[in-house]
Amino acid sequence: MEKAVIYARVSSEEQAKHGFSIENQKKVCIEFAEKSGYFVDKVFVDEGKSAKNLERPEIQELIAYCSKKKNDIKAVVIWRLDRISRNNTDYHGILRPLLAKKGIKLLSATESNVETIEGELMRNIAMNFAEYERQVTVTRTLAGLRQKAEQGEYPHRAPLGYKNLSREDGSKTIVIDEKYAFYVKRAFELYDSGMYSLRSLTAKLFEDGLRSKTGKRIPKTSIEFMLKNIFYTGVFKFEDKLYENAKHKAIISKELFYRVQDRLISPNKAKKQNYEFAYTGLIRCEHCGCLLTAELKKGKYIYYHCTGNKGGDCKRDYINETKIDKAVAEALKLIIIPSDIRQRIADELKILHDKKNGYSKEVKANLQKQIATLENRIENAFEFKLDGTITHEFWKKQHDKWQAEKDKMYIRLEEINKLDKQFYEQADTLLRFTDNAYEYYLKGSIAQRRKILEIISEKITYKDKTFNLILKPVFQTIAENQYNLRDRNCNNRTLENGTKKGLEGDLSPNNRKNSPGWTRTNNLPVNSRLLRH
């Protein structure tokens, strides 16, 4: 029998709310594996861990275990797809390609495992919904953090120079850490003097006795981050909003802070363009693995080039954005989703829509009920205050408490509305993509074009003026089928001079085979002469 491993995961919230117990997952997965003809070699379990990323000890162990050839693993069995990941980037960009490269199947014990175009599309939709559910959980946490920030309490760990303390009543507070506050103030004053660069300041602070809590030298990047942190002036930033009502004390004055900011800005450094680029973070340099960055030339031409962050001389290898647009558009001409698959996607979206609506309406109704209750309490208490039944102190204390709770409810309502809007936008993108990917791409906004590329691409690289777009398997299959169909139709049409007409004029079979400089999209030729400088 071939060997399989099992992965089970539960977060504390899911375990409490839904009973997705580890034991139940293991039992169902083992039964499925044995029924499918696999011997269970090992079980990996992450308890109390979120699937927002791959920073989980057991998933890392699983990846390492499956990567070893001697273990000869043929399948990874999970209870449901969202157990292994709730992040599209991790699932499509890391887990699935890694397992596919090793010839390992990812099997769900409770969902369809059909290896077809339709099956792959259904799994993609399921992963999108898993990410949506994760974002709902994140918004709850964010709502609490925002409420805390509104009350003047920094919702994260205190930076160097401060420490987090617990009061007797269990609440948290931030106080100055005298051991490190001295060095923080000295760092600002020394840098403000103009006598030190960031490098020499780091060395000077180390010489003066500044050490990390583990006794090591604090790196230059951490010193620079400290000098840019407005927290030391007695205010703080959270989600790009400045809170002036902070409860912690200042270590330095705002005047000193802003003088240091002026010094940190190099007068010779070019100002960043407030411009959105379609492909930043999507294309990698095949020389060194760095992501390509973009810049605007002469106010209208966009060029991408390697950042060179990992070393090597890759920065001179530029590509114009319009040429990337043309290459992607050529690939999209071949991605034509059959009408029956489009209908199945629509049917699946209806199911997801019903689930979303059920959850959304229930949560909103709950929140609105709680808001009404709090408003009632505030109104009644105020009437008691007017009658003299309760003291002003009692009224103030209760009013502040209930108002804070009410504000928190409104924040959560707003976040649910945002998620609803995001769901409709993503569903609309998926449907328009299945209707006509090529047309949608040509007419789409920068964000929509970017989303399309994320949907279809497995990997995108650039090397020696050659652009390489590797499609995800499902779209590779669709494109190959369409390409072969069109190629057969073209070859059946003989031109008057007796030659055969290819896919795009000079894309005739002979020319494709022998022409230098063709970039391939998987096994499909794409006209790389469009990409030559």
Task: Write the DSSP assignment of 225-242 as a string of letters.
Answer: HHHT-GGGGT-EEETTEE
Q: What is the mean pLDDT of residues 109-131?
A: 70
Neighbour count for residue 250 (Cβ, 10 Å): 14
Q: Is 401 helix (H, G, I), strand (E, B) or coil?
A: helix
Q: What is the mean pLDDT of the chain?
A: 79
Per-residue CA distances from 200 to 89, 187, 311, 462 (Å)? 40, 11, 24, 38
pLDDT at residue number 42? 93
Q: What is the mean pLDDT of residues 217-226?
A: 92
Q: What is the mean pLDDT of residues 112-133?
A: 68
Rounded distance between C-alpha atoms, residue 399 and residue 316, angstroms: 63
Q: What is the mean pLDDT of residues 66-95?
A: 84
* Residue 16 confidence (pLDDT) above 50: no
* Residue 514 confidence (pLDDT) above 50: no
* Residue 29 confidence (pLDDT) above 90: yes
pLDDT at residue number 314? 63
Rounded distance between C-alpha atoms, residue 53 and residue 20, angstroms: 19
Helix then strand then coil, in percent of the chain rounded to 5, is 55, 15, 30
Task: Give just the sign of the alpha carbon dihedral 139, 142, 148, 152.
Answer: negative
Q: Does residue 184 contact residue 251 with C-beta atoms inside 8 Å?
A: yes
Q: What is the largest CA-CA distance in the chain?
A: 103
Token reading at 388: 């003299």
Looking at the annotation, which residues are catalytic? 11
* Residue 214 confidence (pLDDT) above 60: yes
Phi/psi for 55 (5° steps) reads: -80, 60
Q: What torsion do the CA atoms of 426, 430, 436, 441 make, to the nearest 10 degrees?
A: 40
What is the percent of the chain where pLDDT is above 90?
Answer: 20
pLDDT at residue number 269? 40
- For the stretch 435-486, pLDDT in tens is 888 888 888 888 888 888 888 888 888 887 888 888 888 888 888 888 787 7
pLDDT at residue number 146? 80
Residue closest to 74 by CA, chosen among 28, 122, 37, 31: 37
* Residue 108 confidence (pLDDT) above 70: yes
Rounded distance between C-alpha atoms, residue 303 and residue 298, angstroms: 11
Task: Band the pLDDT of 419: cuts 50, 70, 90.
Answer: confident
Strand partners, 8: 45
- Check residues 78 and 502 and name the one with the higher pLDDT: 78
Choose the weakest-confidence range: 277-286, 295-304, 317-326, 490-499.
490-499
* Residue 92 confidence (pLDDT) above 80: no
Token reading at 402: 């209930």
Choose the most confident range, by mean pLDDT, from 53-57, 135-139, 495-499: 53-57
Which domains are delineated in the chain? 2-113 (3.40.50.1390), 162-264 (3.90.1750.20)
413-422 burial code (b ≥16 CB/10 A, e <16)? bebbeebeee
pLDDT at residue number 533? 32
Question: pTM to 2 decimals?
Answer: 0.43
Q: What is the mean pLDDT of residues 417-436?
A: 84
For 351-397, the three-class secondary structure string (H helix, E strand, C coil) is HHHHHHHHHHHHHHHHHHHHHHHHHHHHHHHHHHHHHCCCCHHHHHH
* Residue 281 confidence (pLDDT) above 60: yes
pLDDT at residue number 503? 36
Task: Band the pLDDT of 176: cuts 50, 70, 90.
Answer: very high
Rounded distance between C-alpha atoms, residue 462 and residue 300, angstroms: 22
Q: Does residue 36 contact residue 107 with C-beta atoms inside 8 Å?
A: yes
* Residue 517 confidence (pLDDT) above 50: no
Residue closest to 276 by CA, chosen among 289, 252, 295, 292: 295
Strand partners, 5: 42, 76
Choose the weakest-confidence range: 161-175, 463-477, 512-526.
512-526
Q: Does residue 273 contact residue 296 with C-beta atoms inside 8 Å?
A: yes
pLDDT at residue number 270? 39
Q: Does residue 332 contact residue 313 with C-beta atoms inside 8 Å?
A: no
Task: Band the pLDDT of 119: cuts 50, 70, 90.
Answer: low
- Check residues 85 and 142 and name the one with the higher pLDDT: 85
Q: What is the mean pLDDT of residues 159-177?
A: 87
Count Cα neighbours of 392 within 13 Å in the Cβ-side half-sphere: 0
Lookup result for tokens 């290819």: 502
pLDDT at residue number 309? 62
* Residue 401 confidence (pLDDT) above 60: yes
- Check residues 512 and 385 and name the one with the higher pLDDT: 385
Per-residue CA distances from 328 to 324, 440, 521 (Å)? 6, 12, 9
pLDDT at residue number 527? 38
pLDDT at residue number 519? 45
H and E: helices and strands count for the chain: 18, 16
Neighbour count for residue 68 (Cβ, 10 Å): 10
pLDDT at residue number 131? 65
pLDDT at residue number 40? 93
Phi/psi for 368 (5° steps) reads: -65, -35
Token reading at 144: 């609490």
Task: Band the pLDDT of 525: cuts 50, 70, 90.
Answer: very low
* Residue 14 confidence (pLDDT) above 60: no
pLDDT at residue number 522? 47
- Check residues 130 and 498 and name the one with the higher pLDDT: 130
Per-residue CA distances from 69 to 7, 74, 103 (Å)? 19, 11, 11
Q: Does residue 79 contact residue 56 with C-beta atoms inside 8 Å?
A: no
Task: Band the pLDDT of 499: cuts 50, 70, 90.
Answer: very low
Region of residue 234 (left: phi > 0; alpha: psi -120 to 50; beta: else):
left
Q: What is the mean pLDDT of residues 307-317?
A: 62
Choose the weakest-confidence range: 12-21, 178-187, 251-260.
12-21
Q: What is the mean pLDDT of residues 518-532?
A: 40
Choose the weakest-confidence range: 168-172, 260-264, 277-281, 308-312.
308-312
Task: Band the pLDDT of 263: cuts 50, 70, 90.
Answer: confident
